[in-house]
Amino acid sequence: MAKDSAKDLSGPLAPVIGLAAQVGQGLIGHELLVERLMVALLTGGHVLIEGPPGLAKTRAVKRLAAGLAGSFARIQCTPDLMPSDITGTQVFRPDSGRFDFLPGPLFHELVLVDEINRAPPKVQSALLEAMAESQVTAGGVTRALPDPFMVVATQNSIEHEGTFPLPEAQLDRFLLHLNLTLPGAEAERAILDLVEDEGRADPRPPARRLEAGAIHAARDAVAAVHLAPALKDFIVRLVVATRETEGGPLAGLVEHAVSPRGSLALAASVRARAALLGRDHGLPEDVEALAADALSHRLIPSWRASSEGLSPRDLIARLLTHVRPW
């Protein structure tokens, strides 16, 4: 591709790249998390972040919200949460003698669903409609959600008591599923310095807040990123390989394979990552970098794989060693 065509992307993408730098300034060792959040923002997708407590999952989303002009809401999930707590409810107005709809926290442009696996199934079902259709049905009336609309959910990977595992249908609605790990000594020392410096400094408002129009313009630029036929074939071969029951690299290791939504999610993510890196075309390295986050939560290992200690991410890693770009 010519350099000039790559430069054309920098115009509409520049505000998003600036937002990524702004979010990353307050996070240590989370460059991939910031990139994945930007990928989701640019594709209109949702993100599930999993990891032990104390890894700045909520902090990252709050920093993202601070850089967006749209509204933000946080839902703290508990076992007694009701669907109306997130969708909204009808409220009687004595002065007018009628019921008015009071919108819930889902009627915001960015929604943080904290500890999503603590929400009961009925709440997860209501959230599924919002994520899949960008709409909410409450009181028999279907109402559209804001545009853009993005859900970032977190879940604790070390606690299972009082939790409700997410159904496969809801996991499939997340564009990306990230697994965060504990930092090393050097990163943790930097985190300590960062928090101490923030405690002494006066809080400052973000340099810029990204408007909805700028997000849509950036999404249009991402949609124009070129994926070569060979690269599309690579994506499809990766996904189809999860369905091969005989002779494939994952034969006997997959209970439920990745659906076509996985191909679509991976292709969209590749376009967004390429644009963030200043390219007007996707590369195999984009596919390899994003495959685990885009496909692992759409795949269910078989009993044999589980007995061998193989996680979905292990299976995707094995897949990438057998299915090559060319």
Tell me whether residue 117 is in a domain: yes
Looking at the domain assignment, is residue 312 inside a domain?
yes
DSSP string, 223-251: HT-B--HHHHHHHHHHHHHTT--SSSTTT
The CATH number that applies at residue 188 is 3.40.50.300
Look at residue 205 and tell me if it is in a domain. no
pLDDT value of residue 1: 37
The conformation of residue 119, written as its DSSP 8-state character, comes to S
If asked whether residues 57 and 184 sit together in one domain, one would say yes
CB 9 within 8 A of CB 278: yes
Q: Which residue type occupies 220?
A: D
Co-location of 194 and 229 in the same domain: no
Give the integer Cα–Cα distance in Å for 119 and 301: 24
Contact 139, 90 (CB under 8 A): yes
Question: Do both 74 and 174 map to the same domain?
Answer: yes
Q: Which domain holds residue 284?
A: 225-322
Cβ–Cβ < 8 Å for 267, 234: no
Half-sphere exposure of 183 (CA within 13 A, CB side): 17
Amino acid residing at 306: S
Can you give the pLDDT of all 326 residues of the chain as single tens digits?
334 444 455 688 999 999 999 999 888 889 999 999 999 999 999 999 998 888 889 999 999 999 999 999 999 999 999 999 999 988 888 888 788 889 999 999 999 999 998 999 999 888 999 999 999 988 788 999 999 999 999 998 766 666 788 888 889 999 999 999 888 898 889 888 888 887 777 666 656 789 999 999 999 999 999 999 999 999 999 999 999 888 888 999 999 999 999 999 999 999 999 999 999 999 999 999 999 999 999 999 999 999 999 999 999 999 999 998 87
* 151 part of a folded domain: yes
Same domain, residue pair 196 and 235: no
114 and 182 share a domain?
yes
The whole-number pLDDT of residue 163 equals 76
Same domain, 183 and 284: no
150 domain residue, yes or no: yes
Instruction: Please report the pLDDT score of residue 6 as a whole number.
Output: 44
Establish if 297 belongs to a structural domain.
yes
Question: Could you tell me if residue 8 is inside a domain?
Answer: no
Q: Do 177 and 252 reside in the same domain of the chain?
A: no
3-class secondary structure, 102: strand
Q: Would you state the pLDDT for residue 203?
A: 65
Query: What b-and-e string marks burial along 9-45, b requiring 16 or more CB atoms within 10 Å of the CB?
Result: beebbebbbebbebbbebbbbbeebbbbbbbbbbbbb
- In this structure, are 181 and 287 located in the same domain? no
Task: Tell me, yes or no, whether 62 and 186 share the same domain.
Answer: yes
Overall number of domains in the chain = 2
pLDDT at 309: 93
Residue 116: what residue type?
I
Query: Which pLDDT value is given to residue 162?
Result: 64
Do 287 and 145 share a structural domain? Answer: no
In-domain check, residue 298? yes
Same domain for 236 and 191: no
Pair 176, 82 in one domain = yes
Q: Pick from 134, 167, 200: which residue ends a domain?
A: 200
The CATH number of whichever domain residue 313 belongs to comes to: 1.10.8.80
